[in-house]
């Protein structure tokens, strides 16, 4: 069995620590490097302090850390991720991206990198969430008339983007199944006298508070019945395990631009 060398970006953050623990517990993965931003007081500390493999020091030098690595896993911020992607592309190192909040142009930049390296980019790495996306596609095609669609998501108080990338992806899947453009039919907030609901819209509601890891519900509300497809994450471990599964997929698959539907064989 080949051991894959993993590098974790943002290693001391909430997701970074979950990834460090996931790598440490996997028999086929090795923590090759752990990254923190330049200037952080944590640079030079041992990754073992944050749940990772003892003996790996936190570094800010991505290019040096990537030498000998098979993949970088990045759940940081859009600006940092795009800089990391450039270096991965130059060095021929695969990348798994779980960062959210990208513009359409930035998403295209990520997709283009698949010409040179393996890229898995998904707003949510959870196996359950990605199965939910498949179920949403089926539900939207069946419930294509007479049902109002609303998406409700909840996350912890520290999340900076809204709606979540997962909620937006759920909206995209539903809109595509219905032959709609989400950019034209999405409603992101309601206040005051809004008038009756247009049947062509897809509504979003956002909740932020406490330590909620991530809850998503898509509601198909008809006359006399309501179907809800819900996913609730109770631990960041589910995202970490999905990301590690994606890294293994890239080791087998090679260069190209993929998402978790590809990783799970749901396409």
Kindly report, residue by residue over 83-123, the tens digit of the pLDDT.
999 999 999 999 999 998 899 999 999 999 999 999 999 98
pLDDT interval class at 245 (50, 70, 90): very high
Do 113 and 244 sit in the same domain of this protein? Answer: yes
> Which residues span the domain enclosing 81?
4-121+236-263
Considering the chain, what is the average pLDDT of its residues? 95
Do 197 and 214 sit in the same domain of this protein? Answer: yes
**The domain spanning residue 109 has which CATH number?**
3.40.50.720
Do 78 and 136 sit in the same domain of this protein? Answer: no
Question: What average pLDDT does range 71-94 have in this prediction?
Answer: 97
254: left (phi over 0), alpha (psi -120 to 50) or beta: left
Residues annotated as catalytic are 155, 159
Per-residue pLDDT at 267: 80
Per-residue pLDDT at 53: 86
Do 137 and 229 sit in the same domain of this protein? Answer: yes
Backbone phi, then psi, for 15, in 5-degree steps? -75, -35
Structure-token match 């997962």, residue found: 166
Question: What average pLDDT does range 22-40 have in this prediction?
Answer: 95
Q: pLDDT tens digit string along 123-176?
A: 889 999 999 999 999 999 999 999 999 999 999 999 999 999 899 999 999 999
CB–CB of 83/18 below 8 Å?
A: no
Do 150 and 253 sit in the same domain of this protein? Answer: no
- What the block records as the tokens of 79 is 């600006």
Per-residue pLDDT at 250: 97
Q: pLDDT tens digit string along 195-214?
A: 999 999 999 999 999 999 99
Kindly provide the b/e burial profile for residues 145-156, where b requires at least 16 CB atoms within 10 angstroms of the residue's own CB. Answer: eebbbbbbbbbe
Do 161 and 177 sit in the same domain of this protein? Answer: yes
Do 13 and 88 sit in the same domain of this protein? Answer: yes
Do 27 and 93 sit in the same domain of this protein? Answer: yes
Do 192 and 108 sit in the same domain of this protein? Answer: no
Do 188 and 152 sit in the same domain of this protein? Answer: yes
Do 30 and 115 sit in the same domain of this protein? Answer: yes
**The domain spanning residue 225 has which CATH number?**
3.30.360.10
Per-residue pLDDT at 2: 84
Per-residue pLDDT at 1: 59
Do 189 and 59 sit in the same domain of this protein? Answer: no
Q: pLDDT tens digit string along 172-190?
A: 999 999 999 999 999 998 9
User: What total number of domains does the chain contain?
Assistant: 2
Per-residue pLDDT at 7: 98
Kindly provide the b/e burial profile for residues 228-239, where b requires at least 16 CB atoms within 10 angstroms of the residue's own CB. Answer: ebebebeebbbb
Per-residue pLDDT at 179: 97
Residue 159, CB half-sphere, CA atoms under 13 Å: how many? 24
């Amino acid at each position: 069995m080949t051991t894959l060398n993993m590098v974790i970006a943002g290693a001391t953050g909430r997701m970074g620590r979950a990834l460090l623990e996931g790598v440490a517990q996997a028999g086929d993965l090795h923590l090759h490097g752990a990254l923190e931003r330049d200037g952080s007081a944590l640079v030079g500390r041992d990754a073992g302090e944050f749940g990772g493999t003892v003996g790996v020091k936190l570094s800010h030098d991505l290019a040096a850390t990537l030498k000998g690595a098979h993949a970088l896993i990045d759940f940081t911020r859009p600006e940092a991720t795009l800089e990391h992607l450039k270096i991965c592309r130059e060095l021929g190192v695969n990348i798994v991206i779980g960062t959210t909040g990208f513009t359409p142009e930035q998403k295209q930049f990520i997709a283009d990198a698949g010409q040179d390296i393996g890229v898995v980019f998904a707003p949510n790495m959870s196996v359950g969430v990605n199965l939910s996306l498949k179920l949403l596609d089926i539900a939207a095609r069946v419930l294509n008339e007479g049902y109002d669609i609303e998406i409700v998501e909840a996350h912890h108080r520290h999340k900076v983007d809204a709606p979540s990338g997962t909620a937006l992806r759920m909206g995209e899947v539903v809109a595509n199944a219905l032959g709609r453009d989400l950019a034209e039919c999405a409603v992101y907030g309601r206040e005051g006298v809004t008038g009756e609901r247009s049947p062509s819209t897809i509504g979003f509601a956002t909740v932020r508070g406490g330590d909620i890891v991530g809850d998503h519900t898509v509601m198909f509300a008809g006359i006399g019945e309501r179907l809800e497809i819900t996913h609730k994450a109770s631990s960041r471990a589910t995202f970490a395990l999905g990301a590690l599964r994606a890294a293994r997929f890239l080791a087998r698959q090679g260069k190209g631009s993929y998402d978790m539907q590809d990783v799970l064989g749901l396409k």
